[in-house]
Structure 1
Amino acid sequence: MPDDLLEFVSGPRGYATGWLWLGLALLIVVIAWYTSVFIATMPAERLRRIPVVRVAHARVLRYRFARTVQSITRRHRAGELSGVQAGAELSRTLRSFLHQATGLRAQYMQLRAVAAGDLAPAAPVLSALGDAQFDSSATVDVARLGEQTEELIRSWS
């Protein structure tokens, strides 16, 4: 056994300091793993109440939902989704984001209720998405709506 490895295992005085540090490092890794699993599986309303976790949770939500919007917009541009389908998916994604970010059940709110409450900044985008989804005579640029939806999600506080 090389002298360096022997010293790591047995220590300079014969005790196992290397094993002590390795054990402590593994203990820290296990504690961090369990903490991350516990936090990742917590309901969103509880995460919003924990001061330190709240900021990280909001950042992760914005990132995750913005990526989903990018994917929908990319699929629309590639022709995989029609304007109606893309509008529906963008609306569903935005409403799900608003629910996760605020706790308000945005999926079930009418546009008037959205515009009159705390979700008012999202009302214009939701209105345009509704036009894209339900008004066949509307000339809505779904790609532009995707960009607006992404910007709204990224800037939500």
Structure 2
Amino acid sequence: MPDDLLRHVIGPTPYSSLWLWLAIALSVLLVGWYAGVFLFTMPRRRLGTVPLVGAARDRMIRYRAARTVRAIGDRYRAGEMSAGAAGEAVSREVRRFLHQVTGVRAEFMQLDRIERSEISPAAPLLTNLVDIRFNPESTLDVGLVSRDAEELIRSWA
């Protein structure tokens, strides 16, 4: 075979790098899918014991509850809500927050049981919120109580 024809012979065609990136993306997507299924199907009680996930979950709960209480206080200060309605909304959000963070069923507890439970630091705030909700002659300012509720949520250990 003459040497001048060797210049027409080439090696195998290399594969496109697109296939490599597609395989990497699909692998990451598969691992993410399994992690998501694992985390979303895990019971809430056990989810808090996972170190990184539990801390992120608590931070998200705290952030969402504080943002909601601030929005209720802003709506009250803007005149969109009455004092009773704002007190009820703040109380509901604080009780929901306490239940999510501690597991104590604060939504259904009376104040005397709250004072004897592990969420007793929240009892004075909840007492003020009950006074605002049910006492039309209450001298408590809903704006200040909502700030206290936001501070309680942000500082809850």
When normalised by structure 2's length, the TM-score is: 0.82
**Preserved CA contact (<8 Å) 1:69 1:150:** yes
> 1:44: how far off?
3.1
Q: In 2, distance between residues paired with 1:145 and 1:26?
A: 51
* Residue equivalent to 2:83: 83
* Residue equivalent to 1:96: 96
- Equivalent positions of 1:12-27 (< 5 A) are 14-27=14-27
Q: In 1, distance between residues paired with 2:64 and 2:41?
A: 16
Instruction: Provide, for residues 103-130 of structure 1, a one-character-per-residue CA deviation record: whole Å limited to 9, x for no partner.
Output: 1100111111111121011111111111
* Residue equivalent to 1:63: 63
* Residue equivalent to 1:7: none
* Residue equivalent to 1:133: 133
Instruction: Provide, for residues 39-69 of structure 1, a one-character-per-residue CA deviation record: whole Å limited to 9, x for no partner.
Output: 3565532322322211011000001111111
Identity of aligned residues (%): 47
Q: Which residues of structure 2 form unaligned runs of 5+?
A: 1-12
Instruction: Provide, for residues 80-124 of structure 1, a one-character-per-residue CA deviation record: whole Å limited to 9, x for no partner.
Output: 110000000000000011001111100111111111121011111
Q: Which residues of structure 1 form unaligned runs of 5+?
A: 1-12
**Could you tell me which amino acid in structure 2 is paired with residue 44 of structure 1?**
R
What is the root-mean-square deviation of aligned Cα atoms in Å? 2.0
Which stretch of structure 1 is more off in the superposition, 33-42 or 90-99?
A: 33-42
* Residue equivalent to 1:114: 114
Q: In 2, distance between residues paired with 1:93 and 1:135?
A: 20
Q: In 1, distance between residues paired with 2:89 and 2:37?
A: 29
**Preserved CA contact (<8 Å) 1:88 1:133:** yes
Q: Secondary structure at the match of 1:132?
A: helix
